[in-house]
Chains A and B, each alone.
Chain A
Amino acid sequence: MTADVFLFWFLAFMTIVSGLGVVLMANPIYSALSLAMTMISVAAIFVTLQAYFLAGVQIIVYAGAVMVLFVMVLMLFDLKHELQAFTRGRATGAIKIATVGILSGLVVGAVTIGLTIGGKNQAEVASATKAAGIVDTTRGLSEALFLKNVFGFEALGVLLLVIAVGTVALSRSKGGTHARD
């Protein structure tokens, strides 16, 4: 077992465990911190897939910004415990769990069956990757972003503007004791 393989299993383990932590922890702050851990693990997985820049963006945006916001809001509300972490209702609960289970089973099954059928081409896939050779991923990324998908890029700029305006408007809405004005 080479280091790379070990690394993958390690990261996959971390991802799944911290991901389970998000869902299973009763205290939402622990959930948030687990999620931050998941984000960082996912960033590491991006690195193993040679998406270096995106790994950095993942950490900056998700772990460094979005999750900080989550933690901040949770602390703002001071929600230490929930009286009841999970939804009630035995029948719907069963359906929900069954749905999730079947879905993951289906996808996992599909992926493994689909790719073991195509598995004999695995070596070819690998060599094709080498040939395609994303030599400088950041350069490829910027070329695709600023030359081919420039409209999406500008549209996202506008989207962010709209969100900024919208959240300010939302947070200004009156009501409750936490509102300042």
Chain B
Amino acid sequence: MTSMGTTTFEVAVNLIKLVLVFLMMVQLVPILVWLERRGSAFIQNRFGPNRVGPLGLLQLLADAVKFLTKEDFAPEKGNRLLFYAAPVFALVPAAVAYMAIPMSVPLKFNEYTFLIQGYEINVGIVFILGISSLAAYTILMAGWGSGSKFSLMGALRASAQIISYELALGLSIVGIILLYGTFNLSEMIHAQQGIFSFNAFGHNISASWLPNWGIFYQPVGMILFFAATFAESNRLPFDLAEGEAELVAGFHTEYGGFKMLMFFIGEYGHMMIASGLMATFFFGGYSIWNLTPQEVYQWCFNLIGNEFWAGAMNSLLHFLSYLVKFGIFLWIFFHVRWTLPRFRYDQLMDLGWKTMLPWALANTMITALIIFVTSYYVL
């Protein structure tokens, strides 16, 4: 297949890898659901699920069984085709976009180099933004396909919210693009490896005790980006689409059973993308504090002495580093959900258009100005 490798072996490995990443995403969802429920219970001084299995871990399996045994329901008034297609499409954009996020340093095996990610895309940011913007269809299809007023209202609200915040999202990363001068996520991570160091007015400024992460250059951009991703994944405090008081459950009011679960997977998938991108843009991706992969590899090699296994260990260590960052951001998602109240709809739109958008613009302009001044003039 195109650009998936040259030999059959490589192509096969790459395709299997894609499936594996997807399955990893799907499998993470129950774990995250469990984590969220336990975590929320912990925050609210409750027990949460603790009956089935140790720490309630088998609750996941019980849930799955329950979902599978629910009878398959579709409202008569709605459009059956769209009603059934919506949950399927909910899976696609989230997963396809997540594949583009690098999760560890590439693994070398004989003459092959395998990326620890679904696929590398040289206009990665544009790709992820574009694919995840397709999520609006899912919502609209579900809302309209249900044939219910509540669903339609919820869908319109959710999609209006998503597109409004997509603007702030898109603009908040212009600063990052300016900073790294690339759309490629791997190159971005590469630029963030090692110690804190940058050039200004023809001089190099560095600090060996700090990593070279994007957050130190783009703090405002980070805050804006993170806030916008909350809105993009329809999470609290932006889950207006399912404002229980007015709209029941928003666009998935009519859904139940496995179809509902698929929407869940989609939503968690968006959270994963958000967390992964946060790590990639602002926290050095998979890189380990202020060490470069070469240094880590050297350390592994000294420890093991076998090139392949040292490389594998290197990849594993970086993958763990990635998982830690990834997990922290996912946890922040949960934590915020059980901490902040929900916005009113007009407040939500005001925040998106009148606060975040101008701030993102200002961030972009100031970043451009600083980059221009510091690199155009040499002192």
Residues of A in contact with B (beta carbons under 8 Å apart): 3-4, 7, 29, 33, 36, 40, 43, 48, 52-53, 55-60, 63-65, 67-68, 71-72, 75-76, 80, 138
Contact = CB atoms under 8 A, between A and B. Distances in A.
Contacts of A29: 79, 82, 144
Given A72-B156, A72-B159, A75-B144, A53 B137 contact: no
Interface stretch (B16-24, B122-130, B319-327): B122-130
B143 A65 contact: no
Nearest to B162: A68
29 contacts: A4-B2, A29-B82, A33-B137, A33-B141, A40-B134, A48-B2, A52-B121, A52-B122, A53-B123, A53-B126, A56-B123, A56-B126, A56-B127, A57-B130, A59-B134, A60-B130, A60-B133, A64-B129, A64-B133, A67-B137, A68-B133, A68-B137, A68-B140, A68-B159, A71-B137, A72-B140, A72-B156, A80-B79, A138-B183
Most buried by A among B127, B155, B156, B160: B127
B143 A60 contact: no
Chain B contact residues: helix, strand, loop or mixed: helix
A64 B159 contact: no
A76 B156 contact: yes
A63 B96 CA distance: 15
A75 B130 contact: no
Chain A contact residues: helix, strand, loop or mixed: helix
B358 to A, nearest CB: 16
A36 B137 contact: yes
Contacts of B144: 29, 75
Contacts, number: 75
B134 A64 contact: yes
A163 B133 CA distance: 23
A60 B140 contact: no
B33 interface: no
A76 B160 CA distance: 12
B156 A63 contact: no
A108 to B, nearest CB: 26
A3 B6 CA distance: 11
Interface residues of B, number: 29
Given A56-B130, A57-B130, A64-B166, 17 more contacts: A3-B1, A7-B2, A29-B82, A33-B141, A40-B134, A48-B2, A56-B127, A56-B129, A57-B126, A59-B127, A60-B170, A63-B134, A64-B129, A67-B137, A68-B133, A75-B156, A138-B123
A145 B106 CA distance: 35
B136 interface: yes
Interface string B255-278: 000000000000000000000000
A72 B158 CA distance: 11
Nearest to A71: B140
B323 to A, nearest CB: 28
Contacts of B313: none
A65 B156 contact: no
Contacts of B1: 3, 7
Nearest to B11: A3
Nearest to B166: A64
Interface string B1-28: 1100000000000000000000000000
B131 interface: yes
